[in-house]
Amino acid sequence: MGLRHRGRQIALQVLYQWDVAGISPEEALSAYRDHLSPPEGAFSFARELVEGVREKRDLLDEIIRKYSRNWRLERMLATDRNILRLAVYELLFRPDIPPRVSINEAVELAKEFGSEDSPAFVNGILDAVYHHEVGNEGNNRSLSA
């Protein structure tokens, strides 16, 4: 497993704790580091993602709501909701990460941490976000996993 994938796993777990248990991202990151001693590269990447999602959470949620027809954000599985926040953050604010990588990584996280339906659900929303919010250079290739 690559350091960035491990970083995304850490970020998802931290965001989940913030979302569900109300633990601040800083506390959750600190506890994770203290108890699990992750590789420094993975942890640094996770911290970047968590800080970005924390800073842009309202905007990310607005975009997710826009493309999740018939699913209120509050009714989504907490894992799916936080995977989407991570991936939409990457798609919109991390030009150093190719969109295909962000989407594929999100689908992998959904397979690892979500329900049986999570990978398709996450992929569908992220594909719509990509095509309508990111891929405005006339690029209509499908990024579906």
Tens of pLDDT, residues 79-120 = 999 999 999 999 999 999 999 999 999 999 999 999 999 999
Distances (CA, A) of 78 to 39, 52, 96, 133: 26, 18, 27, 23
User: How is residue 73 annotated by DSSP?
Assistant: G
67-94 in b/e form (b: 16+ CB < 10 A) is: bbeebeeeebbbbbbbbbbbbbbbbbee
For residue 140, the model assigns a pLDDT of 37
Distances (CA, A) of 53 to 44, 88, 136, 140: 14, 9, 23, 27
**Residue 76 carries which side chain, given as an amino acid letter?**
M
Q: Model confidence at 136, in pLDDT bands (50, 70, 90)?
A: low
**CA separation for the pair 128, 56 (Å, rounded):** 19
Q: Is the pLDDT of residue 139 over 80?
A: no
Q: Is the pLDDT of residue 137 over 70?
A: no
- pLDDT tens-digit series, residues 14-52: 999 999 999 999 999 999 999 999 999 999 999 999 999
Q: Is the pLDDT of residue 141 over 50?
A: no
